[in-house]
Amino acid sequence: NAGVTQTPKFQVLKTGQSMTLQCAQDMNHNSMYWYRQDPGMGLRLIYYSASEGTTDKGEVPNGYNVSRLNKREFSLRLESAAPSQTSVYFCASSPYFGTGDSNQPQHFGDGTRLSIL
């Protein structure tokens, strides 16, 4: 089925380890996003890529890096994982940046549950 695919679904890391979360979409969308979801809070934007070749910081970018590998793929890297980065991470995509248009909402992947000990 068409959509946003995230890998892995679960991961446990030790403090200081590095990790890359992968995201791919097959809807030919221009824009992609990384969010984190913590208990009692809504999703918060970490980084986004409005179009291939561009990336920008969101609300909570510290401790993360991203790469827009091509139009389909947008990865999130934790260089030195910290317990505060324990969260569920969601990747999303949309045809164009932002895109509140009624026919073009953001589409979400199933999430990656990341635990850092």
Partner 1 sequence: AQTVTQSQPEMSVQEAETVTLSCTYDTSENNYYLFWYKQPPSRQMILVIRQEAYKQQNATENRFSVNFQKAAKSFSLKISDSQLGDTAMYFCAFIHSSGSARQLTFGSGTQLTVLP
Q: Indicate which single residue of 11, 52, 58, 61 sits in contact with partner 1 (rule: CB under 8 A).
A: 58
**Nearest distance from residue 111's CB to partner 1, in Å?**
5
What Rg do the C-alpha atoms of the chain give, in angstroms? 13
d(CA 16, CA 106) in angstroms, rounded, equals 32
Task: Outline where 1-117 has alpha helix (H).
Answer: none
Six-digit token string for 21 = 């979360």
Q: Which amino acid is present at 110?
A: D
Segment interacting with partner 1 (CB under 8 A) among 18-26, 65-73, 77-85, 95-103? 95-103
d(CA 45, CA 50) in angstroms, rounded, equals 13
Q: Indicate which single residue of 25, 29, 36, 48 sits in contact with partner 1 (rule: CB under 8 A).
A: 48
> Can residue 25 be called a binding residue for partner 1 (CB under 8 A)?
no
> Can residue 97 be called a binding residue for partner 1 (CB under 8 A)?
yes
Q: Indicate which single residue of 43, 76, 81, 116 sits in contact with partner 1 (rule: CB under 8 A).
A: 43
Q: Using alpha carbons, list the distances in angstroms from residue 84 to 38, 62, 68, 93, 100.
A: 10, 11, 25, 25, 31
> Can residue 90 be called a binding residue for partner 1 (CB under 8 A)?
yes
Would you tell me which residues interact with partner 1 (CB under 8 A)? Answer: 33, 40-45, 48, 58-59, 88, 90, 92, 97-102, 105-106, 108, 110-111, 113
